[in-house]
Amino acid sequence: MKMSKQLLLANRAWSAELTDEDADFFSRQTRPQFLWIGCSDSRISPEQKTQSLPGLMFIHNNIANLVHHDDLNLLSVLQYAVDVLEVPNIVLCGHHGCGGIHGVLNGGVSGPVDTWLENAREVARVHADELEAVPEGTSRVDRLVEMNVRDQLIHLARTDTVQAAFASGRELTLHGWVYDIRDGLLKPLMEIDRETRLDEVGRPDTVLV
């Protein structure tokens, strides 16, 4: 059987299971509590990792979970999540052994992906002093994963959408997490809210050990 047909059959089974338990499951509208910004290379879904019910999360993924100031896709998702859905939480999540971050440190990428990763290369340049003190290999990749989450979370906090929400007094919290594929655990790095002084945010302790 083709894999696409297997997906459709699994979808029918999933739908039937939920409606057998609750006939009105799909007719209720759930207001998301989270915008999740993750990496396309992290292949276990946020709902599965957190055992969340459908509708709890509004999800956006891209290579290496980057926040580009001119990425209209991400900025549109962010605006809709904050201004329309009024999510109180945004999670930006990197992951152990990220392929995009590995490409930043070790090369081997070309074309659109190479251009896209320039944002992450800037993270590596800014934190070069610390990265050079970490042994080459997985440990250095993982430390850059963490530094990337830090810097992208600050980029996120400086967007017009988030700054406007903070200025209005909204209870909005930005969470920087990493997912460790070795043990399946989400590990928090840092948080930013409207009281945070962005110019004073330090480097987080490593959690991918």
The answer to whether 43 is a known catalytic residue is yes
Catalytic pick among 60, 95, 96, 140: 95
SS3 sequence, the chain? CCHHHHHHHHHHHHHHHHHHHCCCHHHCCCCCCEEEEEECCCCCCHHHHHCCCCCCEEEEEEHHHCCCCCCHHHHHHHHHHHHHCCCCEEEEEEECCCHHHHHHHHCCCCHHHHHHCHHHHHHHHHCHHHHCCCCCCHHHHHHHHHHHHHHHHHHHHCCHHHHHHHHCCCCCEEEEEEEECCCCEEEEEEEECCCCCHHHCCCCCCCCC
Question: Is residue 160 annotated as a catalytic residue, yes or no?
Answer: no
Catalytic pick among 60, 93, 96, 98: 98
93 noted as active-site residue: no
**Active-site position among 28, 43, 125, 197:** 43
Q: Which residues neighbour 52 within 8 Å (Cβ) at sequence distance 6 or greater? A: 46
* CA atoms of 78 and 90, how far apart (whole Å): 9
Give me the active site residues, please: 39, 41, 43, 95, 98
